[in-house]
Chains A and B, each alone.
Chain A
Amino acid sequence: MINVSQIKKGIVIDHIEAGHGIHIFKELHLDELTDPVVLLTNIPSNKSGTKDMIKIETDFKLDMNVLGLIDPNVTINFVQQGKVTSKLKLTLPREVVGILKCKNPRCITNQENVPDVHFYLVDEAKKIYRCEYCDAYTTFKPQN
């Protein structure tokens, strides 16, 4: 198994469903960071067989809504001086802003440049959200 050293200060996103790590990496724009970032995929896991993990050695502020949307089962570990100082379990956000795009082609947000469109959770199991403008339902799917 590949060994990646522990980080001294930063964030570890753990228990990412195998295959979702790359989506989180892209949605959080981690490729734009100049600090060390490690994406581990298909790591053996007692719970789920395999999992992904991301380690970020920086003060980077995470967008919890993006994370919660892509994989609400992840755990966030905040690390100081090489030790985990706090953990955070995520849930699917009730409301998201500026992340989703309305799937309704007749929605005004697909014609005008509307900043900060709000979407409201209607079905947790299927990750279905309602557009604040046209009320149409949009299912979140990570970009490939």
Chain B
Amino acid sequence: MADQNSDALSAGLVGRQLIEPGDFSVAELESIFELADQIIADPKTAGDWAKGRLMASLFYEPSTRTRFSFESAMMRLGGRVFGFDDPKTSSVSKGETLMDTAKIISCYADIAVIRHPKEGTAKLFAQSVPGMPVINAGDGGHEHPTQTLTDLLTIRHLLGSCDGHTIGLCGDLLFGRTIHSLVKTLNRWKGNRFIFISPKELRMPEYFLSMLPEGSYIETDSLDDVIGDLDILYMSRVQRERFVNEEEYIRLKDVYILDKKKMKKARQDMIVMHPLPRVNEIATEVDADPRAVYFKQAKFGMYVRMALISKLLGVGR
């Protein structure tokens, strides 16, 4: 019966489009993570799943990390990739509309991955090609669903499930798109509790807090006070580009630096995550600590993208 359910879920994901994590049910997300676990266990088994398939990699702004992760995922599935990472080299420079570009791409590719600085672009692109698998690889400050899938797979794989954790989110909680998306999505699992750690200038926005279940979170400005309570510490970078005032940025950017001394107060089974790139918020001395999983997290990002691409193409197990 479980296998039948799993088959039905897999069939339901073929040809779907992922614009934000809420597009997929918890059961559908779990089915992607299960496939990712199988790939992690034996990556070579997936080596020809996407043989003969083509992925369009449309990067309207530079993003080495995400682009490499998607492209390596497709290549490790045996598929091939074409596209651009500079819109000046595409027909966009001739004034072609995004909707027309989408329709043309759908004539050539089996799946499209799009990153764009304007918010809502992936949805507009996806609407232009119904039935074609489209993945949002980041649309401005709006959504970046595969980062959230990466975070969830990391938690699930290393801690056994996405339920019942105490998660500390530290740093820029005001502008942090990754953090908002992760909290929103983790709330769809059961029993998670959040501790928001930030200076008052970078607190979670009021509108966001109002959406969370009562009693599911607390706020503090002290990492030292709460680090011993955490199952997961998710660090984030204070982004220079979000500040109008350079002095304010300099004052706030190094408020939290996770170092060996702070790690001594943390539990031995806590994990430290970070979407990367980091600046100063995690001292390099922490990298050698087995609880620091942010580089593993980047690898999980590739595996979860392999699983996602396979599901949307209807290939593999």
A114–B119 contact, CB under 8 A? no
Q: What's the least CB distance linking A40 to chain B, in Å?
A: 41
| Cross-chain pair count, CB within 8 angstroms | 43
Q: What's the least CB distance linking A6 to chain B, in Å?
A: 48
Collect the chain A residues with CB atoms within 8 Å of residue B119's CB: 104, 106-108, 133-136
CA distance A133 to B120 in the complex (A): 4
CA distance A112 to B99 in the complex (A): 9
| Interface positions of A from 86 to 129, Cβ below 8 Å from B | 104, 106-109, 111-114
Of the candidates B97, B117, B141, the one whose C-beta lies within 8 Å of that of A112 is B97
Contact-size category for A:
10 to 19
Q: What's the least CB distance linking B315 to chain A, in Å?
A: 30
Of the candidates B97, B99, B118, the one whose C-beta lies within 8 Å of that of A107 is B118
Collect the chain B residues with CB atoms within 8 Å of residue A24's CB: none
Q: Check B142 for interface membership: any CB of A closer than 8 A.
A: yes
Contact-size category for B:
10 to 19
Q: Check B257 for interface membership: any CB of A closer than 8 A.
A: no
A134–B97 contact, CB under 8 A? no
B97–A108 contact, CB under 8 A? no
A114–B141 contact, CB under 8 A? no
Collect the chain B residues with CB atoms within 8 Å of residue A134's CB: 119-120, 139-140, 142
Query: Chain B 83-109 against A: per-residue CB contact (8 Å), 1 yes, 0 no?
Result: 000000000000001110000000000
A112–B142 contact, CB under 8 A? no
CA distance A85 to B14 in the complex (A): 54
Q: Check A132 for interface membership: any CB of B closer than 8 A.
A: yes
A132–B123 contact, CB under 8 A? yes
Q: Check B116 for interface membership: any CB of A closer than 8 A.
A: yes
Q: Check A131 for interface membership: any CB of B closer than 8 A.
A: yes
Of the candidates A104, A107, A112, the one whose C-beta lies within 8 Å of that of B98 is A112
CA distance A106 to B140 in the complex (A): 8
B120–A113 contact, CB under 8 A? no
Collect the chain B residues with CB atoms within 8 Å of residue A112's CB: 97-99, 124
